Amino acid sequence: MEPIVNEIQRAVGKIFVKGNYFYSDYITSQLGNKKTMAILMAIIEKSGKTPTEAIMVFLAAIRYIKKDLDAFAHFEKGDLMGTFIDEHYDELIHLSATKKVQGNIPERGFPLLEVLGKNLPDEKIGVIELGASYGLIGSCLLEPDHILGHPAVYRLNGRQMPVNPKKIDAYLGIDIDPPDKEWLLSCFSVPEDARMLQKYLDTLEFKDNHRVIKASALDFSKLKEVKGFTQKDIKPVVLTSFMLYQFGVQQKKQLIDEIMDFVAQHNGHWISQEVAFKDNGDGLEYYIAWDGKKIIEMPNDKCDQWSWC
Ligand SMILES: C[S@@+](CC[C@H](N)C(=O)[O-])C[C@H]1O[C@@H](n2cnc3c(N)ncnc32)[C@H](O)[C@@H]1O
């Protein structure tokens, strides 16, 4: 088996590719040094996380403890990251081992509104999102005008907008550990994105048709909330968005089998919005699949552009 150090280095090389919107020379160099490598190895050993997940959650834990969305810019100006690791070693290990990366933006709903408009133009739709985080995709699918109607406030210029958006009627989000606002914001690699989200959260009001519950996605179909949901006069659509990559091979297969059974039984559909390593091993690919078939490709997990396959 490949030594863990090599696996971490390989993950760093694949994640932090120059030109990525979140690439940073500073973070990339810090992730290569001995002290950072040692703490990442300890996190992986304690939690069984993949190197990719361990790196991302470790960076979020630093922003969270430092209570600073710009933590890495400030380290770069002389506030040493190594000293910070020494001073907060136990807390960093604990947070990184127990928390998950939970970045969540409403804009990830834009291509989904388009997919629903194209595939289910006349149906009443209820979305069950597995791995919902704060439930912000749900907020966008239920009330797209809240964000689409304010392009200047949310700096949507340059973003691809849905031309035929179909809003949904009910949303049930399921997350193993729904984040508090501070952890959610710490999960953002780009501080400007976190600040934009803060603005959205400040004006957001969840209504009765939006609910997020704490539960595991595995066995979701047995939850009483899901059973209640399917009794409504709506077409159930299961959504997984940037969550399956957090599962090991066996668990992922188990969850996909459960989703497929559920949609077959309830005459529903499954939308997956995912990131995966490319088959040729050359970086990451982002895509949307409808009932397991790839239909849309995207350049990144911000979902700011998309094209139909
Ligand atoms: C990267 S976030 C993505 C959030 C949201 N779906 C989106 O695309 O913006 C992945 C979420 O999956 C959740 N998650 C991971 N494993 C889970 C499980 N077994 N059951 C439920 N949620 C899970 C995490 O807690 C996290 O909030």
Of the candidates 96, 109, 1, the residue with the CA atom closest to the CA atom of residue 43: 96
Calculate mean pLDDT across residues 176-193: 95
Does the Cβ of 111 fall within 6 Å of ligand 1?
A: no
Q: What is the pLDDT of residue 243?
A: 93
pLDDT, tens only, 109-149: 999 999 999 999 999 999 999 999 999 999 999 999 999 99
What spacing in Å lies between the alpha carbon of 76 and ligand 1's midpoint?
30
Distance 97 CA to ligand 1 centre (A): 15
Q: How far is the CA of 103 from the centre of ligand 1 (A)?
A: 9
- Integer Rg of the chain from CA: 19
pLDDT score of 1? 59
Nearest-CA residue for ligand 1 atom 10 is: 243
| Ligand 1 nearest-atom number relative to CA 105 | 9
Q: List the one residue out of 110, 182, 102 whose CA is nearest residue 134.
A: 102
Task: Tell me the whole-structure pTM to 2 decimals.
Answer: 0.89
pLDDT of residue 78: 85
Q: Is 104 in the pocket of ligand 1 (CB under 6 A)?
A: yes
What is the structure's pLDDT at 272? 98
Work out which ligand 1 atom sits closest to the CA atom of 177. Answer: 25
Q: How far apart are CA 262 and CA 267, in angstroms?
A: 8
Model confidence pLDDT, tens digit, residues 17-41: 888 878 889 999 999 999 999 999 9
Q: Return the SS3 of 277.
A: strand
pLDDT recorded at residue 244: 94
Closest atom, ligand 1, to C-alpha of 255: 19
